[in-house]
Amino acid sequence: MLVFRDVIDSDGNVCESLPLRAEVTKGRHARVIFLNGRLRREAERHRR
């Protein structure tokens, strides 16, 4: 399960990319996804 704290880095900023653990992907392979600008802005709004 993906949770909001997965998109926040250790400094409290919204990440540009997100490493997905193998257990949360359909193919059971770990990968990195990049968050587009709109999603990052919405996450930033939600964080406040």
Report whether pLDDT(2) > 80. no
Residues of the domain holding 37: 4-47
For 3-40, how does the pLDDT look when each residue is reduced to its tens digit (9 = 90+)? 888 889 999 999 999 988 898 888 999 999 999 999 99
Q: How many domains does the chain have?
A: 1
Q: How high is the pLDDT of residue 31?
A: 94
Between residues 47 and 36, which one has the greater pLDDT?
Answer: 36
Q: What tokens were used for 28?
A: 């059971």
Q: How high is the pLDDT of residue 4?
A: 87
Contacts of 34 (CB under 8 A, 6+ apart): 16, 17, 18
The pTM assigned to this predicted structure is: 0.67
Q: How high is the pLDDT of residue 42?
A: 92
